[in-house]
C-alpha cells in the first residue's frame, strides 16, 4: 500500500512534466515556423503623425502639387536614381566651365554677364559670423527657363537663386530646381526636420511668358522631401524623410502617381 501511494504521485508529476514539455516544444515549433515570415518584415519605429498620415511609415497616402493629387507609392532607390536631375558638381570651377564666357569667379565675387549687356555681381562675406554671412556658389545654367542657378549660404540658412539671363531678376527657391521633361514645370524640395533653419517642404512653379510663376508650396511638420524628380511627364519619384519620436530620420523612396480626377 505504501509503495502504491508513493508511485501514484510520482506518475502524476511525470505526466504533468511530459505535458508541459510537449506544450513548450509545440510553442517553440510554432515560433520557429513563424519566424521566417516575421523576420522578413522591417521593424516599424513609433512615428509622429500629421493629419491624414495613415501610412505605417508616417508618410502621407497622397500629396497635392499644384492642382494635381498624387498617390504616394513605395518605390526603390534604383528607380529614383534612374530619373534625370539637375545636380551640380561639388567643384564650382567645373560648374563655371561650360559658361566661362558669361560666368567668372574673382576672389569673393561671382560675376555673371547678362544678355542685356550688363553684369551682375554676387559678393561673398564669408568672414562674418553674423546674419550678414553670405557665400554664393555657382551651380549651373538651365536653358529651358533661361536662368543661372546659384546656391546661397547664410550662417544658418540656405536657399537657391534663379537669375534671369536677360534681366538679372532673382527668384529665390528652397532648393535645387528639377524641371519636367518639357521644361514647362518645375518642382523644388528641401528637407529640414532637425534644425528647422530652412523651409521644409516643396514648391511648384510653371513657366509662363512672363517668367516663372509659383503655384503652390507646402511644408509638412514631421516628414519632408529631400528630393523630388520627374520620372516622366506625369510621374515623379522622391526620397522622403520621416521623423521618429527618438528624433531619428528614416528615409523612404517613393513614386508620386497622378490620381485622375
Is 36 inside a domain boundary?
A: no
Q: Domain check: are 204 and 258 in the same one?
A: yes
Put simply, whether the predicted model's pTM sits higher than 0.85 gets the answer no
Looking at the DSSP bridge assignments, the partners of residue 136 are: 152
Residue 15 has pLDDT above 50, yes or no: no
**What SS3 state is found at 229?**
strand
Domain assignment of residue 95, yes or no: yes
Place of cell 518605390: 75
Residues 134 and 164 in one domain: yes
Residue 128: pLDDT band by 50, 70, 90 thresholds? confident
Residue 96 has pLDDT above 70, yes or no: yes
Same domain for 198 and 74: yes
The residue with cell 497635392 is: 64
Is 23 a member of any domain?
no
CA distances from 261 to 4, 31, 212, 254 (A): 84, 47, 26, 21
Entry field: residues in the chain: 261
Instruction: Please say if the pLDDT value at position 177 is more than 80.
Output: yes
CA nearest to 232, candidates 73, 70, 87, 83:
83
| 195 and 229 belong to one structural domain | yes
> First and final CA of the chain: distance in angstroms?
89
28 part of a folded domain: no
Say if 201 falls within a structural domain: yes
Please indicate, yes or no, whether residues 67 and 96 belong to a single structural domain of this protein: no
Rounded to an integer, what distance in angstroms lies between the CA atom of residue 230 and that of residue 215? 17
Cell numbers found for residue 66: 499644384
Residues 152 and 138 in one domain: yes
Instruction: Give a yes or no: residue 241 inside a domain.
Output: yes
Sheet holding 68-74, edge to edge: 62-65, 68-74, 249-258, 236-243, 223-230
Q: Is the domain of 151 the same as that of 186?
A: no
Residues 73 and 100 in one domain: no
For 105-139, what is the HEC assignment? EECCEEEEECCCCCEEEEECECCCCCCCCEEEEEE
Do residues 212 and 231 both lie within one domain? yes
Provide the number of structural domains found in the chain.
2
State the pLDDT confidence band at 247, using cuts at 50, 70 and 90: confident
Whether residue 203 sits in one domain with residue 129: no
pLDDT digits (tens, 9 = 90+) for 26-43: 444 433 433 333 333 344
Task: Tell the residue number behind the cell numbers 511638420, with chain if given.
Answer: 221
- Range scoring the smallest mean pLDDT among 47-51, 65-69, 114-118, 215-219: 47-51
Domain boundary residue, one of 149, 175, 201? 175
The predicted model gives 122-144 an average pLDDT of 93
Compute the distance between CA of residue 151 and CA of residue 142 in angstroms, rounded to an integer: 14
At 131-141, the pLDDT tens digits run: 889 999 999 99
Burial class (CB in 10 A: 0-12, 13-18, 19+), 135: middle
**What does the pLDDT read at residue 114?**
98
Does residue 250 lie in a domain region?
yes
Element (H, E) at 159: strand 158-164
- Higher model confidence: residue 11 or residue 89? 89
Last residue of a domain, one of 146, 175, 204: 175
Q: Which three cell numbers stand for residue 168?
A: 538679372
Tell me what the pLDDT averaged over the chain comes to.
83
Q: What is the pLDDT of residue 37?
A: 33
DSSP helix, strand, coil percent of the chain (3-state; round to 5): 20, 40, 40
- Shared domain check, 124 and 69: no
Of 12 and 64, which is predicted with more confidence? 64
Q: In what order do the strands lie in the sheet with 147-153?
A: 135-142, 147-153, 158-164, 170-173
What pLDDT score does 260 carry? 78
Task: Summarize the confidence of residues 106-116 as an average pLDDT.
Answer: 97
Give the model confidence (pLDDT) of 188-210 as tens digits. Answer: 999 999 888 999 999 999 999 98
Q: Are 64 and 141 in a shared domain?
A: no
**pLDDT score of 60:** 87
Q: Is residue 35 part of a domain?
A: no
Q: What per-residue confidence (pLDDT) applies to 56?
A: 54
Confidence band (pLDDT; 50, 70, 90) for 222?
A: confident
Q: Which of 186, 187, 190 is nearest to 211 (CA)?
A: 186
Residue that terminates a domain, selected from 175, 193, 223? 175
Domain that holds residue 49: 44-86+179-261
Amino acid at each position: 500500500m505504501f509503495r502504491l501511494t508513493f508511485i501514484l504521485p510520482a506518475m502524476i508529476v511525470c505526466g504533468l512534466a511530459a505535458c508541459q514539455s510537449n506544450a513548450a516544444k509545440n510553442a517553440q515549433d510554432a515560433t520557429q515556423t513563424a519566424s521566417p515570415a516575421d523576420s522578413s518584415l522591417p521593424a516599424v519605429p513609433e512615428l509622429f503623425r500629421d493629419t491624414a498620415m495613415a501610412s505605417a511609415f508616417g508618410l502621407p497616402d497622397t500629396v497635392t502639387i499644384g492642382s494635381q493629387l498624387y498617390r504616394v507609392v513605395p518605390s526603390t532607390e534604383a528607380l529614383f536614381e534612374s530619373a534625370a536631375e539637375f545636380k551640380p558638381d561639388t567643384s564650382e570651377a567645373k560648374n563655371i566651365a561650360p559658361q566661362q564666357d558669361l560666368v567668372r569667379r574673382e576672389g569673393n565675387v561671382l560675376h555673371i554677364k547678362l544678355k542685356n549687356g550688363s553684369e551682375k555681381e554676387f559678393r561673398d562675406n564669408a568672414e562674418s559670423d553674423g546674419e550678414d554671412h553670405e557665400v554664393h556658389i555657382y551651380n549651373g545654367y538651365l536653358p529651358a527657363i533661361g536662368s543661372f542657378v546659384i546656391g546661397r549660404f547664410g550662417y544658418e540658412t540656405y536657399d537657391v537663386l534663379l537669375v534671369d539671363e536677360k534681366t538679372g531678376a532673382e527668384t529665390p527657391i528652397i532648393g535645387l530646381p528639377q524641371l519636367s521633361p518639357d521644361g514647362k514645370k518645375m518642382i523644388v524640395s528641401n528637407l529640414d526636420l532637425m534644425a528647422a533653419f530652412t523651409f521644409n517642404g516643396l514648391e511648384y512653379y510653371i513657366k509662363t511668358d512672363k517668367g516663372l510663376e509659383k503655384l503652390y508650396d507646402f511644408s509638412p511638420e514631421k516628414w519632408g522631401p529631400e528630393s523630388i524628380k520627374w520620372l516622366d511627364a506625369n510621374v515623379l519619384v522622391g526620397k522622403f524623410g520621416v521623423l521618429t519620436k527618438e528624433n531619428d530620420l528614416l528615409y523612404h523612396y517613393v513614386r508620386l502617381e497622378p490620381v485622375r480626377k
